[in-house]
Amino acid sequence: MSETNGSADEILKSARVAVATETYNVLSLSDSDWNTLLENPELSPRMSSPFMIFKDNWEVTLVLDDEDFGLLRHAVRSAAVEKGFRLVSFDADLDFDVVGFMARIARIMAEAGISILPISSFARDHILVRQDDLGTALKALRGHVAEVC
């Protein structure tokens, strides 16, 4: 864990980067597909692997690993799906006052020519990168972080 009272660069330099072993899918669901999932608890994520649900005014976005996606794919046939992502997590406990942490990560990835999908939890930041870009992404992070696992 890093100290939370530093600059974004200082925190990034002390961060440990971990890559989830699973491959992830990003789904965009309509309200009707979302309601189908809510009505069928057997279609819920397993709770043993990271997942994300985000609902805004336009769609419901799910981030699920391949196993969970396989269990519910038949119920959300109209969903837009992007496959083949890896979850890269930054083990740095971030205060809400830290400015520019994700911007710094995004800049590093942009300079390496890698598209990312940023995800933030309460205290940590993560990015999804395509499987094909994972090696390049990790190489780009070396020298900017304490450890790449």
pLDDT tens, per residue, the chain with 149 residues? 334 457 999 999 999 999 999 999 999 999 899 999 999 988 889 888 889 999 999 999 999 999 999 999 999 989 999 999 999 999 998 999 999 999 999 999 999 999 999 999 999 999 999 999 999 999 999 999 999 98
Domain spanning 24-83, CATH class: alpha beta
Tell me phi and psi for residue 65, to 5 degrees: -75, 170
Q: Are 88 and 137 in contact (CB under 8 A)?
A: yes
Tell which residue, 106, 138, 107, 147, has the closest CA to residue 14: 147
> pTM to 2 decimals?
0.90
- Centre a 10 Å sphere on the Cβ of residue 96 and count the other Cβ atoms it contains: 8
- Rg, Å, the chain Cα set: 16
Q: What pLDDT is recorded for position 2?
A: 39
- Domain ranges within the chain, ordered by starting residue: 8-22+84-148, 24-83
Domain spanning 8-22+84-148, CATH class: alpha beta
Tell me phi and psi for residue 88, to 5 degrees: -110, 120
Tokens found for residue 144: 């900017």
